[in-house]
Structure 1
């Protein structure tokens, strides 16, 4: 029997330095001092001959269940994705990797990504999770975003009219990445009707090199061009969106690298940025119906705005339930820990450039990327049931920031 283990308190991606594979590969996982529960792993390996597709992990000592795994090819990168069983704090576990029969899982199982014109519809075990919209407006975004209990967790406006929703800030479209001042061009705001406007830039998808689906993980990787109102190319980005087949929480890992071209590019000091969501209006702290903002230092609600913190969680009522969204900032990310543009009306964004507006650090928040150079951002988004404490977001961050040791070795 193949066991498709489910996410319990913590989701983890372990990124390791590639290790050469000779013969039948084995995976060695070492605990890090935390009882992490089930642990999804995405590990690059030096194995160009390992073909993409479904695999099985069998514990080398013969104990425990057989676990579904997936080999992923993304350009020159080969990686193994799996949801591993719980590891004790100091446990060392060894697994063997074997091919699985692709017909052994149902057509709807796992993460599926289907084109709808230029859009991409993402389902998990046959249920809609989100739709990636690459050219519907001035910047790519995801809408809708469905939480772990089946309720939408981001606002529908302006894509759809839903009774009781706020109808302000039409440029805050569900879930996005952008900034309000790039060499003086505003990519954050936009015309409400998507008309060309001399004030606003556009982020255009230039390439879609990777779309991966499978029993464990789904990946969308795109390259994007940041253009001024006159069509000048100011910079580019390479972004990767990755999610797993999990229950109890839905998880997105978002990595993006911003690249300067032949000349430098400056990301200006403004609060209007950059990696954000506009949450369901019922969750708003302003409503005083149970919404709450909490950061890693325990600072809450309005006081969390503009503060630097490794993570922030925004929880509140949705359809009679308490749901939440946590954004975790990886220590490898530019200007970690990021400052936060998180508002009581449901805007929730990580922004490391808004020091002046935030009155943070006593310094200028702008940053110039030299010609030919880049900066990288890494985030994890956890869509969860319950409030911050019940979801143990602090523990989830520790697992994300310092994953267990992961090693691929030969059986020889």
Structure 2
């Protein structure tokens, strides 16, 4: 009986340890976090809440000319997106007024500029607009919440070129937050051409602290050759640096191809990694990166000519009634700069999931 009792106790301990390990594993997957949506559609906004705290908002303000995710916050509550031009914070840059939050658009669709359209009524004469149409799904839950939206890409006269259906997944994984965005564009009238330009397409404009330190004024030109000066500023508290899946770092990543790109730095004492992952099913995988040290972080699968110095060119055509789907993952790590191994694991999970 004594031997039997010891055996039972031993099995109980082993079972308990196994259960504890399982719970810890589930917790690591974010199962303890609750994702909810606060619907403020009358204010043209839906808030994404994790354990009662704001993670991001899906917005479609008339003055921005496209739906955006703004702001995006870390698990610790710091803003990783620039506040300007919606809610400007002290010390921010005020260039490139069209770069707001996280967005998906392009600079030359049938000759219309959906990328460089302005803000607060400063709409370009040749600027297209992505109009929010509706939300067909809002589903919260433990560790994962999803939202499905529809939008219309229209020319300056209001004629629709593309319909867009986008599926968002918001994932909580301990101190890591993930946004998966799967967008399907359908040519609803005539065929639509994405003419080759660097001005695109899946982008984030980041907080000042995550920019790369810079000492000089820099002048950049848009697709029409119009110059924009990015002025030199104090580098106090500016800590960002790019690192690609191919091992390239700093400003040298512009125009290169990579499966993912990590922008890492600090806001105060919080270590942060902000990662964008491309998907193997995407056009031009691994994508080109139109990312700049002044705070622009963007993947562009269409703009080969600028990135290859004219050696290659892509003018992508979506035939009438046909569709193109693009998939991107955003990872926001709070407290830890992610290693290559961890990012590769997140990227592999993303590739397998969709």
TM-score bracket, normalised by the shorter chain, equals 0.7 to 0.9
Q: Which residue of 2 aligns with 1:114?
A: 38
Q: Which residue of 1 aligns with 2:295?
A: 346
Within 2, Cα distance between the matches of 1:299 and 1:387?
17
* Aligned with residue 322 of structure 1, among 271, 274, 280: 271
Q: Which residue of 2 aligns with 1:38?
A: none
Shift of 1:206: 1.7
CA deviations 1:147-204 (Å, max 9, x no partner) are 1221011100000121111111110001111111100000011233234542211100
CA deviations 1:48-82 (Å, max 9, x no partner) are xxxxxxxxxxxxxxx636989xxxxxxxxxxxxxx
Shift of 1:399: 3.3
Shift of 1:234: 1.0
CA deviations 1:18-50 (Å, max 9, x no partner) are xxxxxxxxxxxxxxxxxxxxxxxxxxxxxxxxx
Is the counterpart of residue 306 in structure 1 residue 232 in structure 2? no
Is the counterpart of residue 389 in structure 1 residue 313 in structure 2? no
* Aligned with residue 56 of structure 2, among 122, 126, 130: 130
Q: Which has the higher contact order (CA 8 A, sep 6+)?
A: 1
Q: Give SS of 1:163's match.
A: coil
Is the counterpart of residue 162 in structure 1 residue 117 in structure 2? no
Structure (1/2) with the larger strand percentage: 1
CA distance change for structure 1 residues 273 and 192 in 2, over 3 Å: closer, same or farther? same
Within 2, Cα distance between the matches of 1:86 and 1:197?
46
Within 2, Cα distance between the matches of 1:243 and 1:329?
17
Q: Give SS of 1:184's match.
A: coil
Within 1, Cα distance between the matches of 2:323 and 2:93?
37
Q: Is the 2:210–2:265 Cα contact (8 Å) retained in structure 1?
A: yes
Within 1, Cα distance between the matches of 2:260 and 2:164?
23
Over aligned residue pairs, what C-alpha RMSD do you find? 2.7
Shift of 1:359: 1.6
Larger deviation, residues 282-291 vs 244-253: 282-291
Q: Is the 2:245–2:340 Cα contact (8 Å) retained in structure 1?
A: no
Q: Which residue of 2 aligns with 1:376?
A: 325
- Unmatched tracts of structure 1, length 5 or more: 1-62, 69-82, 88-104, 405-412
Aligned pairs for 1:119-268 within 5 A: 119-136=45-62, 137-268=64-195
Q: Is the 1:306–1:360 Cα contact (8 Å) retained in structure 2?
A: no
Q: Give SS of 2:173's match.
A: coil
Q: Give SS of 1:155's match.
A: coil
CA distance change for structure 1 residues 403 and 217 in 2, over 3 Å: closer, same or farther? closer
Q: Give SS of 2:87's match.
A: coil
When the two structures are superposed, what TM-score results if normalisation uses the length of structure 1?
Answer: 0.70
Within 1, Cα distance between the matches of 2:310 and 2:112?
25
Larger deviation, residues 244-253 vs 393-402: 393-402
Q: Is the 2:251–2:292 Cα contact (8 Å) retained in structure 1?
A: yes
Give 4+ residue runs of structure 1 displaced > 4 Å after superposition: 65-68, 83-87
Q: Is the 1:307–1:360 Cα contact (8 Å) retained in structure 2?
A: no
Q: Is the 1:134–1:140 Cα contact (8 Å) retained in structure 2?
A: yes
Q: Give SS of 1:393's match.
A: helix
Shift of 1:297: 0.6
Shift of 1:248: 1.6
- Unmatched tracts of structure 2, length 5 or more: 1-17, 215-234
Shift of 1:239: 0.6
CA distance change for structure 1 residues 162 and 86 in 2, over 3 Å: closer, same or farther? closer
